[in-house]
Amino acid sequence: MPRIPFPELPDHGRVWIFPASRRLDDGERAGLLAEVDAFLDGWAAHGAPLRSGRELLDGHFLAVGVDEDASRPSGCSIDALVNRLEVLAHGMGVRLVDHAPVWYREGDEVRVASREEFRARARDGVVDASTRVFDTSLTRLVDLRRSGLERPARESWHGKAFFSPK
């Protein structure tokens, strides 16, 4: 079986982060993870099984990782993953494959805003460079493990995009 526990994937592995447009409830989380597991059990690139794993972070962020030393994912295999997630998300009434919004923490809650809304909140002082944001653009497991998905905006691309002097 090519699917392995997410923590067993090597640091140099590839990762994709799929942010849910809202927090998933317990049933949705269980259903999503079961469906993703079933997909990963058969995930292959040009017939070669992909050694992969998944983890759900903060009830919002699905991380799917691959050990590229075992087999490298192909464009078609990545498309198959994205397409499967789009179908699953549609059935749950959420978006999973949309990296345009900004996810950030407000108190204990994870919030989502369009980039324009987040920019307006920054301009109004509602959010600032110390606001904790979620960097869904990570592509290496080592970066996810070292810095985490959540960090102050100043330590992510968000700092340059929203808080740099113009």
pLDDT tens sequence for the chain (166 residues): 589 999 999 999 999 999 999 999 999 999 999 999 999 999 999 999 999 999 999 989 999 999 998 889 999 999 999 999 999 999 999 999 988 999 999 999 999 999 999 999 999 999 999 999 999 999 999 999 998 999 999 999 999 999 987 6
**DSSP string over 33-64:** HHHHHHHHHH-EETTEEP-EEEEEETTTEEEE
Q: What is the crossing angle of helices 75-92 and 26-42, to 10°?
A: 160
b/e string for 58-76 if b means 16 or more Cβ within 10 A? eebbbbbbbbeebbebeee
CA atoms within 13 A on the CB side of 76: 5
Cβ-defined contacts of 44-49 (< 8 Å, 24+): 44/2, 44/71, 44/77, 45/71, 45/72, 45/73, 45/74, 45/76, 45/77, 46/74, 46/76, 46/77, 49/2
Gap between the Cα atoms of 101 and 116, Å rounded: 9
**pTM of the complete model:** 0.93
Gap between the Cα atoms of 12 and 37, Å rounded: 22
**Residue 166's pLDDT is what?**
61
Write down the residue that tokens 């469906």 correspond to: 35
